[in-house]
Amino acid sequence: MRIISTLGLAALTQLMPIAAHATNGYLSHGYSTINKGMAGTGTALAQDSIAAATNPAGMAFIGDRVDAGFEVFSPRREYSVNGAMPPPPAFSLQPGTYESSREGFVIPHFGYNNQISENTTFGVSVYANGGMNTDYPASNGGPFYGGRTGVNLEQLFIAPTWTWKVSDKHAVGIAPIIAYQRFEAKGLQNFAAFSSAPDSLSNNGSDEAWGYGFQLGWQGEISETLRAGASWRYILEMDEFDKYRGLFAEQGDFDIPQMFNLGLAWSGISDHWLLLDVQHIRYSEINSVGNPLLPNLMSAALGDDKGAGFGWDDMTIVKLGWQWQQSSKQVWRAGLSYGENPISDEDVLFNILAPGVQEWHFSGGFTRHLSDKLELSGMLFYSPAKSVSGANPLAPGQTIELEMKQIGASISIGWKL
């Protein structure tokens, strides 16, 4: 009965507002308050029931518990155009600096885990992704002379997770993933001449897509002071965005990329954990994200299999985390991560819509044990401003600079059952 109730709550959670996170590309740098407080590390050390988002096997080591919380997130995005406006047929932009609005978001997360036997657990983690979100004003006609302009991508994942301890110190886990995403684009109608389906390019309201996939993981104790973990998530196959089949490559296809996590956690200093994670995200495998703007825009129509995309490269992110058990009731955390941004200077034009250029993340957090069963966790993070600039490929003599910085805070409650 508890499992049924939990899955019902997970389904209700997907109706809550979801939006952007602190981002590596458009994937979150972490998924739970504890995890984010250490810059997203945790592949080798699970501490809450959102652990399946990073490594499903971690759920084997957390016992019976429920976690729920939310993040308040603020991205600051802008683009600048320099250089004179060449005459038509050049696709020149208005010089100046323009900021995206919508700078505040609230993102929930939820998890549940149940020890169903000595060696097996069943749980569910519910978490969100985002980051491709912009909303530029209609001043000077908007970025592409289509009035108010921007995109909004929201993604939510429900991950029922089963684990099996193959020994006292090692476990494997599998999480079939149910994925939901919602997308909207506006202000892009002047790209109609480049589109295979001009009526399904822009200003069609929100479209929804469901999909599925799976994630596998292992976590275990190598020695008394060293833990290790690994996980792999295959491409999540999503339904097409039919309302935007004239924008995204492969007739509106927007699958969610493959991801790998490797991690170590060392406790060789009393009351301290030091964590190292390496994450790899395969954006280039998703045509709608990885296809470059040029030459594709000139050789295939938007929406075709080879249609132009955002030109994102794969990302490899290195994350370092630290945790200090100050007392039986108080835990402190800190972390930093770095991953080279996926946007090259050749693809700045389209990425005015999705300036996912962040590279560094710095975070800190805590857990306060309020009783033997109840704990309160908090997290703060900062991602400093990062910019990428390059030539406007459709207007000789113009340059475009993208810039973003991010701040956020999260709070959650953990309850041991």
Instruction: Dig out the tokens for 252 from the structure.
Output: 């509106």
Q: How many CB atoms lie within 10 A of CB 280?
A: 16
* Interior angle at CA 32, CA 163 and CA 240, nearest 5: 80
Letter for the amino acid at 307?
G
What's the average model confidence in pLDDT over 363-385?
97
Answer yes or no: are the C-beta atoms of 346 and 294 closer than 8 Å: yes
110-114, 138-142, 183-187: range with lowest mean pLDDT: 138-142
Which residues are bridge partners to 411 per DSSP?
70, 378
- Predicted confidence at residue 205, as pLDDT, reads 96
pLDDT tens, position by position, 300-324: 999 999 999 999 999 999 999 999 9
Q: Which of 12, 142, 42 is nearest to 363 (CA)?
A: 42
Across the chain, mean pLDDT equals: 93
Residue 398 has pLDDT above 80, yes or no: yes
Q: Which of 29, 16, 1, 123 is nearest to 319 (CA)?
A: 29
pLDDT tens, position by position, 225-268: 999 999 999 999 999 999 999 999 999 999 999 999 999 999 99
- What the chain holds in terms of domains, given with CATH numbers, is 2-416 (2.40.160.60)
Helix (H) or strand (E) segment spanning residue 35: helix 33-37
* Interior angle at CA 211, CA 281 and CA 296, nearest 5: 55
Instruction: Dig out the tokens for 70 from the structure.
Output: 């939310």
Phi-psi region of 271 (alpha: psi -120 to 50; beta: other; left: phi over 0): left
Instruction: Dig out the tokens for 149 from the structure.
Output: 């302009």
- How far apart CA 366 and CA 322 sit, in angstroms, is 11
